[in-house]
Structure 1
Amino acid sequence: MRRLHLTLRRLIILAGLLFLILLGYGALRQRPQDLPWTDLDLSQPVGLFTGRKLAALTGDAAGCRALLDRAGVDYVAMKPGGADQCRYEDAVRLRRDGDAMALAPASVAPSCPVVAAFKLWEWQVVQPAAHRFYGQPVRSVRHFGSYSCRRMYGRSQGDFSEHATADAIDIAAFVLKDGRQVSVLNDWKGEGQDAQFLRTVRDGACDLFSTVLSPDYNAAHRDHFHLDQAERGATGWRACR
């Protein structure tokens, strides 16, 4: 009899665990962006694995462009260029599309994974934050460029920068619809509205880009956010400073 009671107790515990697992799985199915094996969809909110999926687009130029197409992003695919360590093959240039947040200068052509992350950042992070803090959208984003054939920090030796393959972009300022500019250099410090906005969009970028470096990192980034989509293999470690 005692053994029967123990068996029944175990069955009840197992049934309870199975119920909780099924309940959790059902909830996750309502948010496919939180599952590692589902396809990336730029129309969905940011999920637990969105950043990993964006980084995994590196090396899949056709798949990345198809993703932009499905999301209705207006862009021009650029011809491959550069050579050796500075070779890029998946650069795209965004075209101004209606109320979309423009890049200034507009001639910049980051890699497709960077652009995919940038568009999600615009839709899910930057514009919502702009409306919350300022009651208006961001009209354009000023940047310091994307492609640059150089090593990290401009050194003569060492690893090449993600800029060397157009897998990075440096964001300097945000221009609101009314023309007001919020810049990393001038507005990062303090506790005011502009500083809060900049920290909000920096933190949101950390869910989408492999590396996010801000003035909190070092003096070299006092005037911009470095955003890159480095593909770091199986470990997938991310940097957010």
Structure 2
Amino acid sequence: MHVPRLVPLIIVMALALVAFITIRDQQRRHPERLPWTPLSLLAPIGPFTGTKLAQLADDAPQCRQLLAQAGVAFTPFPPVSGPQCGYADGVTLDTGGSLATRWQPAPLTVACPVAAALFVWEREIVRPAALRHFGKPLDRIEHFGSFNCRRIAGSANWSEHATADAIDIAGFRLEGGRRVRVLGDWNGTPEEQAFLREIRDGACEVFATTLSPDYNAAHADHFHLDQAARGMRGGSFCR
């Protein structure tokens, strides 16, 4: 029996066992950190959350099921069709449920993967940031809308708005009435600047595209958030 020859094999087997135990522990305690675990909208944001959210574009029933499991109040929206624009996975976010923040104007209809990402962004990023920077709960989110049958400005390509896979966020209102708007407050007080940049950076973790005033003058008054197909491949654009 050649014991020395068995030593490398024993070491490899031991390392494999340690790796297996570590992965099983991570899967049990932090499934959001692994690429193959199912998505939960109630889990913390992990390195693969954005990709999993974008992949919901291929599975509208699963997307709606995840919203329901997270307690989001919504109504499936009838398909919208046209020569170049439209969508079949729209949902209208209703008042109440676990998505407690009100949308202004309401009701808000978006493609389901956008609704799922908005829920995660609000829950994990925006609400905690509002409390941390202002000491006030978030009351509502102001937006410029989602579906818009148009091309990207200055381009022949169709916008993600043409399929309701995008939303433009204009500002936020806190309980008590204080408003924090992208236009005017991006370079406002230190806490306003910190809040808006923190939630912009947080949006980059759950949306395929996040555009802010740092991108160009056309986004001086809003955040553009979308679930373009690049997010399904694990890529994103954040500026």
TM over 0.5: yes
Q: Is the 8 A contact 2:148 2:161 kept in 1?
A: yes
Q: After the TM superposition, which residues 45-56 of structure 1 pair with which residues of structure 2 at under 5 Å, given as runs?
A: 45-56=44-55
**Post-superposition offset of 1:142:** 0.6
User: Are 2:99 and 1:104 equivalent residues in the alignment?
Assistant: no
Q: What is the aligned partner in structure 1 of residue 119 from structure 2?
A: 119
**Post-superposition offset of 1:168:** 0.3
Quick one: distance in 2 between partners of 1:87 and 1:64?
18
Q: After the TM superposition, which residues 171-210 of structure 1 pair with which residues of structure 2 at under 5 Å, given as runs?
A: 171-189=169-187, 192-210=190-208
Q: What is the aligned partner in structure 2 of residue 78 from structure 1?
A: 77
Q: Deviations over 1:201-226 (max 9, x none)?
A: 11111111110011111111111110
Q: After the TM superposition, which residues 31-180 of structure 1 pair with which residues of structure 2 at under 5 Å, given as runs?
A: 31-97=30-96, 100-153=100-153, 155=154, 158-180=156-178
Quick one: distance in 2 between partners of 1:82 and 1:211?
24
Q: Deviations over 1:132-166 (max 9, x none)?
A: 1112211001111101000112x4x5110000000
Letter of the 1:220 partner, please give it.
Answer: A
Quick one: distance in 1 between partners of 2:14 and 2:216?
51
Quick one: distance in 1 between partners of 2:217 and 2:84?
27
Q: 1:137 to 1:164 in 2, by over 3 A?
A: same
SS in 1 for 2:132: helix
Residues paired across the two proteins, number: 237
* Gaps in structure 1 of 5+ consecutive residues: none
From the two aligned structures, give the one with the greater strand fraction.
2
Q: Is the 8 A contact 1:85 1:165 kept in 2?
A: no
TM-score of the superposed pair, with normalisation by structure 2: 0.92
Q: Is the 8 A contact 2:51 2:233 kept in 1?
A: no
Q: Is the 8 A contact 1:170 1:224 kept in 2?
A: yes
Quick one: distance in 1 between partners of 2:231 and 2:146?
22
Q: Deviations over 1:82-106 (max 9, x none)?
A: 3132011111111111671111101
- Stretch of structure 1 that moved more, 90-99 or 60-69: 90-99
Letter of the 1:37 partner, please give it.
Answer: W
Which runs of structure 1 show a deviation greater than 3 angstroms over 4 or more consecutive aligned residues?
233-236
* Gaps in structure 2 of 5+ consecutive residues: none
TM-score of the superposed pair, with normalisation by structure 1: 0.91
Quick one: distance in 1 between partners of 2:178 and 2:63?
33
Q: 1:96 to 1:187 in 2, by over 3 A?
A: same
Quick one: distance in 2 between partners of 1:169 and 1:94?
13
Q: Is the 8 A contact 2:145 2:167 kept in 1?
A: yes
**Post-superposition offset of 1:19:** 4.0
**Post-superposition offset of 1:190:** 5.9
Q: What is the aligned partner in structure 2 of residue 225 from structure 1?
A: 223
Pairwise CA RMSD of aligned residues?
A: 2.0
- Stretch of structure 1 that moved more, 42-51 or 95-104: 95-104
Q: Is the 8 A contact 1:212 1:226 kept in 2?
A: yes
Quick one: distance in 1 between partners of 2:206 and 2:49?
7
